[in-house]
Amino acid sequence: MTIAIDWHLARALLEWQVELGVTDAVLAEPVDRFARVEERLDAEAQRAAPQVSGARTPVAAAPDDGPDAVAEATRLALAAQDLPALAEALQEFPYCELRRGARNCVFSDGNPNARLMIIGEGPGADEDRQGRPFVGKAGQLLDQMFAAIGLSRGSPDPNASFYVTNTVPWRPPANREPTPDELAMLRPFLLRHIELAAPEVLVLVGNVACAALLGKRGITKLRGRWTTAQGIAAMPMIHPASLLRNPEAKREAWADLLAIKARLQGGDRDPH
Ligand code: URA
């Protein structure tokens, strides 16, 4: 039976999907999932087929891993001599699958000369649409939090501004966390980004930034304690998206903000 899809039916189907929470068409080309099922069934049938006695099982071709993506990322990142060159190298980096589902390569925002640099997790839907980090609800809270200690993205004064980026520049599908492989592949760009921006203080918001730069997670234990990342004083903080879900944690975030303010003013206030 063929169902003719006219304009009204197509619209009703789209509205139904939007009601279910679909916000983006992730791929430019439609995926024929029936063909995929057939391919899988074929592969399973081949694996289940009895082997002819004495015949050698065909050796699968060694997986062609292609170039070492981490080495390539390191080479390209180190070759970039300034932030625009690094942004361009990242934009052109072909090996990370995340880029396939993203609209924009979200590099950074704020004042690159700021003394404070914030590292988040990865772009969400709003960031992907606008091409700037932290512009959705979590980003608005981040701006309010740092405004409370006198810092904004827009200020040209390095003492009164901040610079912000993420561990990965492309939105992970369905806002999942970047995988350890993705983090490892893109880490050389992040390290070079920090090196070129050369902030005095880093703020690592959330577990993923801590995993990428400290090699550990556990933000509720890590937050509020000064540590060092890439030789720079670093303060782990609870992610603003988490604060939106658990507003009671804002008290701790405020203590961390005061510690950051004191550090920037020359004092070294540790809330613990
Ligand atoms: N959350 C992040 O970690 N980064 C963004 O850019 C937006 C939301």
Of residues 239, 232, 269, 34, the one with CA closest to residue 116: 232
Is there an atom of ligand 1 within 6 Å of 124 CB?
Answer: yes
| Element of type H or E holding 110 | strand 109-110
Q: Smallest Cα–Cα separation from 189: which of 266, 83, 262, 56?
A: 83
Residue 247, H or E segment: none
What pLDDT, on the 0 to 100 scale, is given for residue 67? 75
Is the beta carbon of 133 within 6 A of some atom in ligand 1?
A: yes
- Identify the H or E element spanning 107: none
Which tokens is 138 given?
Answer: 């979590």
pLDDT of residue 53: 33
Q: Say how many residues make up the chain.
A: 272
**pLDDT tens, residue order, the chain (272 aa):** 566 777 777 777 777 666 555 655 655 455 554 455 445 544 544 444 433 333 332 333 334 556 799 999 999 999 999 999 999 999 999 999 999 999 999 999 999 999 999 999 999 999 999 999 999 999 999 999 999 999 999 999 999 999 999 999 999 999 999 999 999 999 999 999 999 999 999 999 999 999 999 999 999 999 999 999 999 999 999 999 999 999 999 999 999 999 999 999 985 555 44
- The second-level CATH assignment, the architecture, of 70-264 is 3-Layer(aba) Sandwich (3.40)
DSSP SS3 for 177: coil
**Is the distance from the beta carbon of residue 107 to the nearest atom of ligand 1 less than 6 Å?**
no
The answer, yes or no, to whether any atom of ligand 1 lies below 6 A from the CB of 166, is yes
Q: Are 112 and 103 in contact (CB under 8 A)?
A: no
How far apart (Å, rounded) are the C-alpha atoms in residues 210 and 194? 14
Q: What are phi and psi of 118, to 5 degrees?
A: -105, 135
Quote the ligand 1 centre to 266 CA distance (angstroms).
29
The reply to whether ligand 1 has any atom less than 6 angstroms from the CB of 170 is: no
242 alpha carbon to ligand 1 midpoint, in Å? 11
Token pair listed for 26 = 């992730």
pLDDT score recorded for residue 41: 44
Per-residue confidence (pLDDT) for residue 155, from 0 to 100: 98
Give distance in angstroms: CA of 124 to centre of ligand 1: 6
Q: Report d(CA 237, CA 203) in Å as an integer.
A: 7
pTM: 0.77
Cα of 259 to ligand 1 centre, how many Å? Answer: 22
CA of 166, closest atom in ligand 1 = 4
Q: Quick check: 188 and 198 in contact, CB under 8 A? A: no
> Alpha-carbon distance 84 to 90, whole Å?
10
Residue ranges per structural domain of the chain: 70-264
